[in-house]
Structure 1
């Protein structure tokens, strides 16, 4: 007997596009709970710089996987998959619907498709490819893993280097690990949505959001984290917004310079997110808030 798959609404897209607001509105309309898939909102104390939902928003709809680890704790995509799966199972058992929302594409992929049982990254080995052109990387990959090479573009350095790294470490092409990977699609039936925003408007929203973070007390938040003993070298403290503010507080740059860098790096991150989600399969790009009524209709039909 085939096990019934749990239905999930998954909302992705670039930072500043309105994912959290959309998820909140949809959750209230269909009686759902929200599972966070933002790799920075998992950290306690990193509130303003991560645009974490406000307490009153979390009071309106139950949220999961927010504030679950300290800033100095490691939390991987594998950890996310485990914790998110447990939260979704709990939500489903109570007869509620689950909405997974966040811009960390790797988290969403880990949840929906699982993780390849391939070796962990080797920074030293990866550095050997730093000065190799994308065309040459693709040529080398085609010699040892033509299946993977056929799917990649010379500009996709991250995946090219990862594929060559795996082959160098194991003597096996990453396509072989992928072929042996049988998780995909086993547990969930997902409706994947992403918010599309015209680039100029998205960048305007990002700049405005950074200004709001400053008004809400981002400088004071970072100062307090440092006072609690959290090193500026932690992964959490190296994230956008925090690394620039620690540099400002160390008198390495002015506040204006720090803010300019936060805006710039946020825009670059949004661009990378759009590229990531643009490569995902079966994802529907919709405008928000303009198309909210249409989005709601799709969601009601999906869960119905």
Structure 2
């Protein structure tokens, strides 16, 4: 786990207050105190712009400077600060993209079979229906931004207020959207691993051992046995 570029004692409510500002004004304020970070962030990315501005307000130090300090620590680099545990051995389970996509789609189907829709309906009725009625729903903060909720927004708000055919269509669109964002998130994770560890060799980068998991029928031969051998050798 890496340091997340956080300064201690930050007041999260201040970030929410900043996000109420107009995007242009918010970005203008950041440009005045941290032009380097402002140049990296799109003016419409209010969450990140507000976060960087909050860091400066609470610490008096530009967010970009804090990140540079972490990157310059022993074990740090262009993509972040040092790992929490310096003597790590990383086992990276990776699969062929087609196999991974199929597995992720099945995961969504399994979640639906296990009662995902019932859970979403209950959560929507308890915590989101009133916000939707007042046009103040927020899918950018807290649990509301989680993958698997906002994808079903149209289905949840229209359920019982439209024809069964329309409801079924909206449900299918939500399911397909969930599968797409899940696969997209997995791709970002793989890209991060490659950029963080595989493309920056050096004494401060821990060893990363790739284990092929495309064929689950070969789990013993391709994953379990080599993983045990790697860990045993690393410990010794």
Give TM-score scaled by structure 1 length.
0.44
Give the greater-gyration-radius structure (CA). 2
User: What's the CA shift for 1:200?
Assistant: 1.7
1:189 to 87, 91, 105: 87
The whole-number CA distance in structure 2 between the counterparts of 1:206 and 1:263 is: 7
| Structure 1 residue aligned with 2:7 | 117
Match of 2:231 in 1: 299
Equivalent in the alignment of 1:237: 144
Shift of 1:263: 0.8
CA deviation vs aligned residue, 1:105-163 (integer Å, no higher than 9, x gap) = xxx223xxx645387876579945999xxxxxxxx74xx9xxxx9xx9xxxx9xx9799
1:269 aligns with 185
TM-superposed deviation, 1:255: 0.9
Deviation track 1:49-96 (CA, whole Å, cap 9, x = no partner) reads xxxxxxxxxxxxxxxxxxxxxxxxxxxxxxxxxxxxxxxxxxxxxxxx
Of the two structures, which has the highest relative contact order with CA contacts closer than 8 Å and spacing of 6 or more?
A: 1
- Paired residues in the alignment total 174
CA distance in 2, matches of 1:275, 1:129: 33
Q: Which residue of 2 aligns with 1:68?
A: none
For residues 148 and 226 of structure 2, the distance between their equivalents in structure 1, rounded to whole angstroms, comes to 34
Contact 2:121–2:156 (CA under 8 A) maintained in structure 1: yes
From the two aligned structures, give the one with the greater strand fraction. 1
Distance 2:235 2:152 in 1: 43
Secondary structure of the residue that 2:196 maps to in structure 1?
Answer: coil
**Structure 2 contact 2–84 (Cα < 8 Å) conserved:** no
* Aligned residues: CA RMSD: 4.4
Q: Which stretches in structure 1 are left out of the alignment for 5+ residues? A: 1-107, 132-139
Alignment of 1:287 with 2:184, yes or no, is no
- Match of 2:134? none
Q: Is the 8 A contact 1:167 1:174 kept in 2?
A: no
**1:219 alignment counterpart:** 117
Contact 1:129 1:161 in 2 (8 A): no
Say whether the 8 Å CA contact 1:166–1:174 is kept in structure 2. no
Q: 2:154 aligns with which of 247, 251, 266?
A: 247
Distance change in 2, residues 1:238/1:117 (3 Å): closer
Sort the Cα spacing of 1:188 and 1:219 in 2 relative to 1 into closer, same or farther, 3 A.
same
Distance 1:181 1:117 in 2: 15
Aligned partner of residue 267 in structure 1, secondary structure = helix
How far apart, in 1, do the equivalents of 2:101 and 2:157 lie?
Answer: 28
Q: Give TM-score scaled by structure 2 length.
A: 0.54
Higher share of residues assigned helix? 2
SS in 1 for 2:232: helix
Q: 1:166 to 1:241 in 2, by over 3 A?
A: closer
Q: What is the alpha-carbon distance in structure 2 between the residues aligned to residue 168 and residue 250 of structure 1?
A: 39
Q: Using a 3 Å threshold, how does the CA distance of structure 1 residues 198 and 130 change in structure 2: closer, same or farther?
A: farther
